């Protein structure tokens, strides 16, 4: 007995992955290839015996039922939503309970091929958007430049799943001045943000790619191609930290595709629905299975690389001290405190305890019988010299 049946994306992967695997992975950059292959393997094992399960037994008819575990991968559409909600809950503890603004920074099309191959540059894109915001907010008071809290989330996908790099920035609508006064900020001039965004992005990229002459030429000519700067949109306004955390649920950690947008699949072609941001019209695009999976997998993040970054008042090393200063300096006294994350074992126990399952055969109450954890996918290497046992320094310090 499964709580949720596999979705359409799982069906597409199960029926076609072995056939298109080599050609799709060959088109991906090296940093993404291994992560994409792992993401597909986890999605295919989602809610199967390989991923583990909890077995229940009926108290009346003695029938057994299984509740399979999910893969908890952000790539998986059925698990990505839960990951987004978990990320929003964690972000809520980081955000100040003050007004926030949402800004979107778009990377020009000329730089997308470079970022497609060099995924390590995406952290520089986030830093450039954050520096732009810190600089622009700081100009609202020349005598005491206010420092805002900035959370920058990098997305690589557009609505049609093409490679379209942009940064969603969540910024406090004000900042803490050096004289410990909270300075509200109401004005976000688009022209200033566009020019600063162009300046910082190109400056940081040129510094990072100092020895690449071809990249330097491509970056340098963008000053003349875009004389008014790169596109920046000032979007939503949030009255407090709770509304801002709801924004995180929409944009932070969510998968690039919702299965609701797959309108048709006949075994060879996939029809994808999307809204074109240029004219606001609802459109569809028909893709081969290979092209569809390539567009989807190109947005998988390399392992250990973060897509969410914190700056200013939200810098992790200064966050606790900044919360105290903001409470003292502003009228925003009711601050959201960080949420202690639960371990995997604690989340599993809570989830199992919350289930009230009934037997599909007789309707009897199901009693927990057996827990099967996921099997190990990697075998520890035994080559090389044996490791020396770790020494407990605290024990050595004790008197004999």
Q: Tokens in use for 301?
A: 């993040």
Domain of 183 in residue numbering reads as: 81-256+305-329
What pLDDT is stored for residue 360 in this prediction? 79
pLDDT of res. 335: 61
Residue 223 belongs to a domain: yes
Cβ atoms of 259 and 9 within 8 Å: the answer is yes
pLDDT at 194: 96
| CA 301 – CA 44 distance, rounded (Å) | 18
* pLDDT at residue 5 greater than cutoff 60: no
Q: Answer whether residue 148 is part of any domain.
A: yes
- Residue at 235 is within a domain: yes
User: Has residue 289 been placed in a domain?
Assistant: no
Q: Is residue 246 part of a domain?
A: yes
Three-class secondary structure of residue 284 per DSSP? strand
Q: What is the pLDDT of residues 248-291, one digit of tens each?
A: 656 666 778 888 889 999 989 999 998 887 787 888 999 999 99
pLDDT in tens, 151-161: 999 999 988 89
Say if CB 148 and CB 184 are below 8 A apart: no
Report field, pTM of the whole predicted structure over 0.75: yes
How far is Cα 217 from Cα 84, in angstroms, rounded to an integer? 39
Looking at the domain assignment, is residue 10 inside a domain? no
Q: What angle do CA 217, 222, 223 make, to 5 degrees?
A: 110
Which residue in this structure is represented by tokens 């995924």?
119
- Closest-CA residue to 50 (of 389, 372, 380): 372
Q: Are 151 and 308 in contact (CB under 8 A)?
A: yes
251 closest CA partner among 56, 85, 106, 19 = 85
**How many domains would you assign to the chain?**
1
Does any domain span residue 4?
no
- Which two three-digit tokens encode residue 10? 């799982």
Is 300 a member of any domain?
A: no
Whether 395 has a pLDDT exceeding 60, the answer reads: no
Instruction: Please give the pLDDT value at position 387.
Output: 53
User: What are the tens digits of pLDDT across the range 84-118?
Assistant: 666 666 666 778 888 899 999 999 999 999 999 99
- Residue 392 pLDDT greater than 50, yes or no: no
- Summarised one tens digit per residue, pLDDT across range 23-35 is 999 999 998 999 9
């Amino acid at each position: 007995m499964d709580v949720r049946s596999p979705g359409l994306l799982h069906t597409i992967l199960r029926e076609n992955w072995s056939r298109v695997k080599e050609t799709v992975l060959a088109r991906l950059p090296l940093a993404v290839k291994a992560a994409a292959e792992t993401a597909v393997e986890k999605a295919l094992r989602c809610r199967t015996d390989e991923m583990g399960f909890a077995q229940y037994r009926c108290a009346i008819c003695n029938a057994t039922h299984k509740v399979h575990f999910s893969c908890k991968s952000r790539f998986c559409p059925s698990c990505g939503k839960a990951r987004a909600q978990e990320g929003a809950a964690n972000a809520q503890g980081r955000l100040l309970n003050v007004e926030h603004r949402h800004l979107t920074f778009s990377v020009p099309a000329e730089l997308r091929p470079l970022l497609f191959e060099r995924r390590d540059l995406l952290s520089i894109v986030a830093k450039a958007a954050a520096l732009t915001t810190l600089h622009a907010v700081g100009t609202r008071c020349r005598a005491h430049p206010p420092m805002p809290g900035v959370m920058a989330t990098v997305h690589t996908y557009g609505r049609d799943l093409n490679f379209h790099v942009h940064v969603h920035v969540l910024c406090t609508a004000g900042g803490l001045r050096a004289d410990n006064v909270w300075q509200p900020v109401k004005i976000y001039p688009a022209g200033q943000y566009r020019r600063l965004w162009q300046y910082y992005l190109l400056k940081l990229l040129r510094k990072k790619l100092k020895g690449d002459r071809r990249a330097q030429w491509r970056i340098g000519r963008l000053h003349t191609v875009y004389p008014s700067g790169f596109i920046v949109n000032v979007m939503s306004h949030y009255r407090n930290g709770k509304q801002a955390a709801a924004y995180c649920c929409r944009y932070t950690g969510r998968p690039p595709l919702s299965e609701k947008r797959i309108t048709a699949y006949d075994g060879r072609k996939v029809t994808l629905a999307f809204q074109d941001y240029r004219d606001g019209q609802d459109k569809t695009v028909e893709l081969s299975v290979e092209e569809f999976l390539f567009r989807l997998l190109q947005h998988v993040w390399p392992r250990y690389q973060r897509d969410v970054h914190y700056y200013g008042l939200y810098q992790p090393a200064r966050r606790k001290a900044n919360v105290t200063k903001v409470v003292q300096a502003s009228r925003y006294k009711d601050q959201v405190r960080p949420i202690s994350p639960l371990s995997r074992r604690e989340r599993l126990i809570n989830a199992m305890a919350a289930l009230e399952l009934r037997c599909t055969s007789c309707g009897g109450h199901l009693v927990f019988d057996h827990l099967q954890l996921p099997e190990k996918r990697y075998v520890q290497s035994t080559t090389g010299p044996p490791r020396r046992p770790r020494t407990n320094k605290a024990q050595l310090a004790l008197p004999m």
